Amino acid sequence: MILGAIAVGLLVVGGFTFWRGNDAAEPAASAAAAAVSTAPAAASAAQPSAAEATAAPDDQAAETAAGAAAALGPHKQEHLPPLPFRGNAPPPRSPEVVTAAYQFAAEHPEILSYVPCFCGCEHGGHRGNEDCFVAARDAKGDVVAWDEHGIECAVCIDVANRSRQMYASGASVRDIRAAIDKEFAPKFPSQTPTPKPPAQKH
Same domain, 135 and 163: yes
Same domain, 21 and 100: no
Whether 41 maps to a domain, the answer reads yes
> Residue 45, Cβ neighbours under 10 Å: how many?
8
Going residue by residue through the chain (202 aa), what tens digit of pLDDT does each one get? 454 444 444 444 444 444 444 444 444 444 333 333 333 333 333 344 433 333 455 677 667 767 677 777 788 888 999 999 988 888 999 999 999 999 999 999 999 999 999 999 999 999 999 999 999 999 999 999 999 999 999 999 999 999 999 999 999 999 999 999 999 999 999 999 999 998 865 3
pTM of this structure: 0.67
Whether 192 maps to a domain, the answer reads no
By the 8 A CB rule, do 160 and 112 touch? yes
Same domain, 167 and 101: yes
Give the whole-angstrom CA distance, residue 122 versus residue 137: 20
Same domain, 81 and 169: yes
By the 8 A CB rule, do 146 and 134 touch? yes
Same domain, 64 and 147: yes
For residue 195, give the amino acid letter: P
The DSSP secondary-structure symbol of 125 reads T
Whether 198 maps to a domain, the answer reads no
Whether 195 maps to a domain, the answer reads no
The DSSP secondary-structure symbol of 194 reads P
Same domain, 81 and 132: yes
Same domain, 42 and 121: no
Whether 194 maps to a domain, the answer reads no
Alpha-carbon torsion angle 90, 93, 96, 101, nearest 10: -120
Domain range for 139 is: 54-187
Whether 77 maps to a domain, the answer reads yes
Whether 99 maps to a domain, the answer reads yes
The total number of structural domains that make up the chain: 2
Q: How far is CA 127 from CA 1, 5, 35, 60, in A?
A: 95, 90, 45, 11
Whether 84 maps to a domain, the answer reads yes
